Amino acid sequence: MIHLKIRKIDLYLMIILGLIYFFMVPVRLTGLIFFVGTAVLIYVIYRLQV
């Protein structure tokens, strides 16, 4: 179950990364700041849930 959770989180991160790369083409700096903020938020939420 733990391994499955980690793999799910990795999958979500890969999807987010893909979306960020797609959005970073028109807006690089704003996209990067938004991505870092979102990634930290998601990580904190996941850590609190576990």
Domain boundaries, the chain: 2-49
pLDDT at 6 over 70: no
Share of the chain above pLDDT 90, in %: 0
pLDDT at 1 over 60: no
DSSP 4: H
Residue scoring higher pLDDT (21 or 3): 21
SS3 of the chain: helix, strand, coil, percent, to 5: 90, 0, 10
The pTM for the full model equals: 0.39
Distance CA 34, CA 47 (A): 20
Q: Give the total residue count for the chain.
A: 50
What sign does the CA torsion over 47, 13, 11, 19 have? positive
Contacts of residue 5, Cβ cutoff 8 Å, sequence gap at least 6: 50
